[in-house]
């Protein structure tokens, strides 16, 4: 796909936020990327425009039937002032996997990355500099055709918006408390669990709300059929270190193909730490805990990179790991990945894409 990218710069630039209070996902940069799809014509009118509200027909299909997909990745500023993206091609690959499941037309991932680089370059000064901060990038596609009928839409809009964000947890890497969910399920095999689509997140809200009321920050989802096997945690994949081996649920069709998950597996293999992708039940985890063999557990995701798990509540059994402290392996992985992202450590894996400065 070769099409011209037009750029309309914002007339006035908005004030930059206080870097100490960025939070997550509430502040947006001056510009955004847009591109439309029309059946018979394909993707067209790629453009960078000032960040602004969009007008949609109330009958736009996304509002009624949820035909939408999204992605999440980050841009990092190095000490030398260079801007790095972490494995953006994996996000575009996953976006197309989600598109396939949701009957949304494929996008050209390379073209989208070129558009993203240009967008980041224009809003370069929005990338925060404080320790642990970054620029969160949210590509997404919505069905815009005005039609009340359950069918794949004939029109879509692809957009990229960006938000300067602080550390996901104020303390940086801090253990979280997890409630194992027995009643609600997030996804089932054959459903849309593997796709990054809004409905999966809407389906997760109720369980998450109940967990929060009990003072647990995230939910661990079990499989939708037997409520036995571990799927993932909130918006993270999950890993367990049992008796020296690291185990993570296999990509079984109902969990997300996490980019951080894939990176962690590569790192563990590189370090010669045994790692297995396989089905793992909550019974097995609890048994390991009771036998003193559950050494660590952690979630992986773009937002927090690594979230050590300090506690699980499963039925009435409370399992406290590592005295509620961050485990050694969690810390080592977190330090390595964040150092590569920030350019403080050599990228031996080909994970970094630099955003060039335009002349
Ligand atoms: C449901 C779910 N699982 C796992 C992840 C972690 O994926 P990644 O490492 O690509 O951010 C995310 C976040 O994108 C998610 O929403």
Rounded CA Rg of the chain: 21
pLDDT of residue 3: 83
pLDDT of residue 358: 84
pLDDT of residue 21: 86
Token pair in block for residue 292: 């003193």
Q: Which residues pair with 142 in a beta bridge?
A: 68, 157
CATH architecture under which domain 6-165 falls: 2-Layer Sandwich (3.30)
CA 88/CA 353 separation, integer angstroms:
7
Please spell the DSSP secondary structure of 207-259, one letter per residue: HHHHHHHTT-SEEEEEPTTTS-BEEEETTBEEEEEETTEEEE----SSS---H
Asked whether the beta carbons of 240 and 294 are under 8 A apart, the reply is: yes
pLDDT of residue 300: 98
**Tens of pLDDT, residue by residue, the chain (359 residues):** 568 999 999 998 888 999 888 988 999 999 999 999 999 999 999 999 999 999 999 999 999 999 999 999 999 999 999 999 999 999 999 999 999 999 999 999 999 999 999 999 999 999 999 888 999 999 999 999 999 999 999 999 999 999 999 987 766 688 999 999 999 999 998 999 999 999 999 999 999 999 999 999 999 999 999 999 999 998 999 999 999 999 999 999 999 999 999 999 999 999 999 999 999 999 999 999 999 999 999 999 999 899 999 999 999 999 999 888 899 999 999 999 999 999 999 999 999 999 999 86
Other Cβ atoms less than 10 A from the Cβ of 313: the count is 17
- How far is the centre of ligand 1, averaged over its atoms, from the C-alpha of 258 (Å)? 5
Please measure the distance between the N-terminal and C-terminal CA atoms of the chain and give it in whole angstroms: 24
Nearest CA to ligand 1 atom 12: 235
CA 4/CA 333 separation, integer angstroms:
41
pLDDT of residue 20: 86
SS3 state at 146: strand
pTM above 0.85, yes or no: yes
237 CB near ligand 1 (under 6 Å): yes
- How far is the centre of ligand 1, averaged over its atoms, from the C-alpha of 71 (Å)? 9
- How far is the centre of ligand 1, averaged over its atoms, from the C-alpha of 40 (Å)? 33
SS3 state at 155: strand
pLDDT of residue 130: 87
- How far is the centre of ligand 1, averaged over its atoms, from the C-alpha of 8 (Å)? 32
358 burial (CB, 10 Å; 0-12 / 13-18 / 19+) is exposed
CA 278/CA 294 separation, integer angstroms:
16
User: How does DSSP classify residue 60?
Assistant: B
pLDDT of residue 132: 85
Superfamily of domain 176-341: D-amino Acid Aminotransferase, subunit A, domain 2 (3.20.10.10)
For the chain, domain boundaries:
6-165, 176-341
Token pair in block for residue 64: 């009624």
302 CB near ligand 1 (under 6 Å): yes
Asked whether the beta carbons of 339 and 131 are under 8 A apart, the reply is: no
Token pair in block for residue 90: 């994996």
CA 159/CA 220 separation, integer angstroms:
31
pLDDT of residue 170: 65
Q: Are strands 6-7 and 42-50 parallel, antiparallel or unpaired?
A: parallel
204 CB near ligand 1 (under 6 Å): no
pLDDT of residue 23: 87
Q: Report the residue among 230, 236, 251, 305 best suited for mutation to probe ligand 1: largest number of ligand atoms under 8 A from its CB.
A: 236
pLDDT of residue 204: 94
pLDDT of residue 1: 55
């Amino acid at each position: 796909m070769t099409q011209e990218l037009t750029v309309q710069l914002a007339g006035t630039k908005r004030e930059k936020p206080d870097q100490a209070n960025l939070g997550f996902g509430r502040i947006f940069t001056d510009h955004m990327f847009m591109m439309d799809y029309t059946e018979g014509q394909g993707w067209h009118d790629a453009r960078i425009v000032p960040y602004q509200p969009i007008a949609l027909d109330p009958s736009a299909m996304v509002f009624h039937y949820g035909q939408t997909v999204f992605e999440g990745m980050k841009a990092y500023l190095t000490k030398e002032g260079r801007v790095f993206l972490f494995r953006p091609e994996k996000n575009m690959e996953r976006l197309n996997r989600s598109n396939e499941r949701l009957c949304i037309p494929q996008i050209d991932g390379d073209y989208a990355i070129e558009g993203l680089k240009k967008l980041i370059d224009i809003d370069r000064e929005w990338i925060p500099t404080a320790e642990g901060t970054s620029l969160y990038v949210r590509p997404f596609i919505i069905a815009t055709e005005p039609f009340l009928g359950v069918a794949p839409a004939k029109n879509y809009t692809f957009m990229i918006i960006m938000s300067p964000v602080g550390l996901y947890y104020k303390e940086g890497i801090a253990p979280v408390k997890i409630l194992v969910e027995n009643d609600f399920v997030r996804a089932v095999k054959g459903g849309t669990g593997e796709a990054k689509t809004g409905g999966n997140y809407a389906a997760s809200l109720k369980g998450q709300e109940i967990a929060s009321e009990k003072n647990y920050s995230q939910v661990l989802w079990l499989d939708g059929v037997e409520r036995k096997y571990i799927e993932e945690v909130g918006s993270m994949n999950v890993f367990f270190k049992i008796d020296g081996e690291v185990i993570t649920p296999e990509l079984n069709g109902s969990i997300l193909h996490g980019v951080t998950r894939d990176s962690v597996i590569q790192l563990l293999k590189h370090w010669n730490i045994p790692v297995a992708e396989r089905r793992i039940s909550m019974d097995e985890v609890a048994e390991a805990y009771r036998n003193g063999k559950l050494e660590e557990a952690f979630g992986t995701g773009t937002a927090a990179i690594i979230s050590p798990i300090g506690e699980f509540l499963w039925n009435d059994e409370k399992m406290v790991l590592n005295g509620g402290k961050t485990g050694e392996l969690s810390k080592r992985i977190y330090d390595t990945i964040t150092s590569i992202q920030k350019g403080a450590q050599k990228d031996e894996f080909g994970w970094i894409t630099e955003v060039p400065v335009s002349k």
